[in-house]
Amino acid sequence: MPNAIRIYQHGGPEVLKWEAFDPGPAGPGEALVRHEAVGLNYIDVYHRSGLYPLPSLPAVPGLEAAGVVEEIGPGVTEVAVGDRVAYAGVPPGAYAEKRCIPAHRLVKLPAAISSLQAAAMMLQGMTARYLLKGCWRVGPGTNLLIHAAAGGVGLIVCQWARHLGATVIGTAGSAAKADLAAAHGCQHPIVYSQEDFVGRVKEITGGRGVDVVYDSVGQATFAKSLDCLRPMGMLVSFGQSSGPIGLLDPSILAQKGSLFLTRPTLMTYTARREDLLEHAADLFEVVLNGAVKVEVARRYPLAEASRAHRDLEGRKTTGSSVFTL
* Sequence ranges of the domains in the chain: 3-122+273-324, 140-263
Taking the C-alpha atoms of residue 57 and residue 277, their distance in angstroms, rounded to an integer, is: 31
Residue 240 pLDDT level (bands cut at 50, 70, 90): confident
Residue 319 pLDDT level (bands cut at 50, 70, 90): confident
Per-residue pLDDT reduced to its tens digit, 261-299:
999 999 999 999 999 999 999 999 999 999 999 989 899
- Confidence at residue 316, expressed as pLDDT on a 0 to 100 scale: 85
- Confidence at residue 317, expressed as pLDDT on a 0 to 100 scale: 84
Taking the C-alpha atoms of residue 204 and residue 188, their distance in angstroms, rounded to an integer, is: 8
Residue 230 pLDDT level (bands cut at 50, 70, 90): very high
* pLDDT over 90 (residue 171): yes
Closest CA to 126 of 166, 99, 68, 86: 86
Cβ neighbors of 185 (< 8 A, separation 6 or more) are: 158, 159, 161, 162, 163, 168
The architecture CATH gives domain 140-263: 3-Layer(aba) Sandwich (3.40)
Per-residue pLDDT reduced to its tens digit, 38-87:
999 989 999 999 988 999 999 999 999 999 999 999 999 999 999 999 99
* pLDDT over 90 (residue 218): no
Cα end-to-end span (Å), the chain: 14
Cβ neighbors of 128 (< 8 A, separation 6 or more) are: 153, 156, 157, 160, 283
Low-confidence winner among 48-52, 106-110, 218-222 (lowest mean pLDDT): 218-222
Superfamily of domain 3-122+273-324: Medium-chain alcohol dehydrogenases, catalytic domain (3.90.180.10)
